Chains A and B, each alone.
Chain A
Amino acid sequence: ETGVTQTPRHLVMGMTNKKSLKCEQHLGHNAMYWYKQSAKKPLELMFVYSLEERVENNSVPSRFSPECPNSSHLFLHLHTLQPEDSALYLCASSQDRASSYNEQFFGPGTRLTVL
């Protein structure tokens, strides 16, 4: 496979469930990102990992817990979510965070519905 992949593509969960989103990049990049995209809103940056170290957490509620076991994989663990957390969750990667001239490449996203 090439590029950035995400699983599952669709997820429906109850507020008491625990689930995890998975992202894998095959581009040899060193930086990975989680974004949330809600209807009619710009992408909201949630977490940034650079060389497997979390370098940014944009005031995201603790019910979202990221994990980056290596530079190719990124997880988002979900528990006790709220209906307003329903959105498209996008993973992205870039070569690194040092250069300003690196594009981000996105995975297909996980469309999450919280009931």
Chain B
Amino acid sequence: RKEVEQDPGPFNVPEGATVAFNCTYSNSASQSFFWYRQDCRKEPKLLMSVYSSGNEDGRFTAQLNRASQYISLLIRDSKLSDSATYLCVVNTHLSVRGNQFYFGTGTSLTVIP
């Protein structure tokens, strides 16, 4: 089983729509969670960190459900500029190897005019 799993999409939504992505992780000991945004042929950039039950930043809301081991990202009032790939990242502390970052394959979003 993969450490982090995401629906690859693609998600094609009209401007102004609300869209949600889910991400599941396999290790219940995972402690911190991140959403990164990656534009085509660019590096991943941190969008949000999720340490407790959730985090909100403007149109973006991330929620964490530890019992079900999933993280979600909600984007409200989608803009054309939101078109990108969204990476789910999980940080897990392994007793021998220390903290490890695990990346999902990413979910592709295209916002259509």
Q: Which residue of chain B has its CB nearest to the CB of A40?
A: B105
Q: Say yes or no: B99 contacts A111, CB within 8 Å.
A: no
The DSSP consensus for interface residues of chain A is: loop
Q: How many residues of B contact A (CB 8 A)?
A: 26
Between-chain CB contacts (< 8 Å), 22 pairs: A33-B101, A40-B105, A42-B104, A42-B105, A42-B106, A45-B100, A45-B101, A90-B43, A90-B44, A97-B99, A98-B99, A99-B99, A100-B31, A100-B32, A101-B51, A104-B46, A104-B101, A105-B46, A106-B43, A106-B44, A108-B42, A108-B43
Task: Give chain A's interface residues, CB within 8 Å of chain B.
Answer: 33, 40-43, 45, 50, 55-56, 88, 90, 97-109, 111
Task: Give chain B's interface residues, CB within 8 Å of chain A.
Answer: 4, 31-32, 34, 41-46, 49, 51, 87, 89, 91-93, 97-101, 103-106
